[in-house]
């Protein structure tokens, strides 16, 4: 049984954007297929009409290169009309027929209120599923790190998928849930914390997010992102006409400048630029592009507020423009962009200069 689908999780409401992204990137790689996306479902399938197995396309489309996907799986045909009396047998038989074996089993639902009501069913099925799969040889101690995912969308509908080490999210549902720090000035602080988890390998935090580094936060007030920088022991230029949190100012690590973040220039090269200004994406990219071309910072994290429609087109055009501008200026850089869990109508971009 050769899988002929890929299955992606996303934030509910962004299915059409993810579908457009996958279709565009698959076609650019020479793959034939079509997306299946239901509004507000929290997931998208891509069905191959190519003769090649879906595993190869999965490798060609690393999760880290996708903007709107939270999780990426090689998937089998959905199982529908499952009987309340015996949901297990069709699942077990499809797993065994696939010829694959796995080291672990994750049962998940889309990130929607309706799907969350299936939590009780999932919990009840976990131990029986694991027991039977072990007896049938489909769940074992050593299986190359492969993981079996069961995405439940209804009590009688489930789709089986598989993930592989190095090309998947290690968070259930693809969601990195972070605890809000009680002394942070705003919940936006979680956006920057999640961005660091996403774009900076944890074993590099001590060198790339180090105490004593210097940073600028454009559009800083009241200080949610500045708070994260200060927690790492950085010295911060907080640029905003609005007031900053008193606790942050008392640390002695923040210099608050009541200036326009779009025109302010740093007095020296900084380690980090961060920006969560609410404005048109093109204007934010213009500003960040100036910083990077002039090498005013070594790394940058910034958010792009998205239009209501054609969000994938807006993001892809903006990123392509930034990449082109840096290349023309002779600036080598790594550029990543993700729609993070703590984002809403925005995406987070990370750029790291390499020269």
CATH of the domain at 305: 3.40.50.150
Q: Is residue 177 part of a domain?
A: no
List, in sequence order, every beta strand (DSSP E) within 199-260. Answer: 214-218, 235-239, 254-257
Longest dimension (CA), the chain: 70
* C-alpha to C-alpha distance for 64 and 342, rounded to whole angstroms: 17
Residues 149 and 288 in one domain: no
Residues 140 and 195 in one domain: no
Parent domain of 228: 189-353
pTM of the model as a whole: 0.95
Average pLDDT over residues 246-273: 97
Does the annotation mark 305 as catalytic? Answer: yes
| CATH code for the domain of 121 | 3.30.2130.30
Report percent pLDDT > 70 for the chain. 100
Residues 196 and 317 in one domain: yes
Q: What is the pLDDT of residue 1?
A: 66
Q: How many CA atoms lie within 13 A of 36 on its CB side?
A: 12
* C-alpha to C-alpha distance for 355 and 353, rounded to whole angstroms: 6
Lookup: tokens for 271: 């380690």
Report DSSP letters for 165-205, one per residue.
TTSS-SSGGG----PPPTTSS-TTHHHHHHHHHHHS-GGGH
DSSP code for 68? S
pLDDT digits (tens, 9 = 90+) for 32-71: 999 999 999 999 999 999 889 999 999 999 999 999 999 9
**Number of domains, the chain:** 2
The answer to whether 152 and 79 have CB atoms below 8 angstroms apart is no
């Amino acid at each position: 049984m050769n899988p002929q689908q890929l299955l992606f999780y996303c934030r509910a409401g962004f299915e059409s954007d993810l579908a457009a992204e996958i279709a565009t990137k698959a076609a650019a790689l020479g793959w034939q297929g079509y997306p299946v996306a239901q509004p507000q479902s929290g997931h998208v399938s891509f069905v191959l009409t190519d003769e090649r197995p879906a595993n190869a396309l999965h490798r060609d489309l690393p999760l880290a290169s996708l903007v709107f996907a939270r999780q990426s799986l090689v998937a089998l045909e959905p199982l529908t009309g499952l009987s309340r009396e015996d949901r297990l047998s069709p699942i077990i038989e499809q797993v065994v027929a696939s010829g694959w074996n796995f080291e672990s089993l994750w049962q998940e639902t889309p990130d929607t209120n309706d799907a969350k009501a299936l939590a009780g069913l999932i919990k009840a099925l976990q131990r029986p599923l694991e027991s039977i799969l072990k007896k049938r040889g489909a769940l074992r101690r050593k299986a190359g790190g492969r993981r079996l995912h069961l995405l439940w969308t209804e009590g009688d509908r489930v789709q089986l998928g598989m993930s592989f080490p190095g090309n998947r999210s290690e968070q259930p549902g693809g969601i990195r849930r972070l605890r809000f720090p009680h002394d942070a000035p705003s919940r936006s602080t979680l956006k920057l914390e999640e961005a660091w988890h996403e774009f900076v390998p944890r074993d590099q935090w001590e060198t790339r997010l180090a105490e004593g580094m210097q940073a600028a936060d454009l559009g800083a007030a009241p200080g949610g992102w500045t708070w994260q920088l200060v927690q790492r022991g950085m010295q911060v230029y907080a640029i905003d006409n609005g007031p900053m949190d008193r606790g942050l100012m008392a640390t002695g690590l923040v210099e608050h400048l009541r200036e326009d973040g779009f025109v302010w220039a740093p007095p020296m090269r900084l380690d980090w630029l961060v920006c969560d200004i609410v404005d048109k994406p093109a204007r934010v990219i213009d500003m960040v592009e100036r910083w990077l071309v002039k090498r005013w910072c070594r790394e940058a994290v910034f958010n792009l507020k998205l239009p209501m429609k054609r969000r994938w087109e807006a993001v892809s055009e903006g990123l392509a423009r930034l990449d082109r501008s840096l290349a023309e200026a002779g600036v080598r850089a790594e550029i990543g962009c993700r729609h993070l869990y703590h984002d809403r109508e925005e995406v987070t971009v990370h750029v790291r200069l390499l020269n």
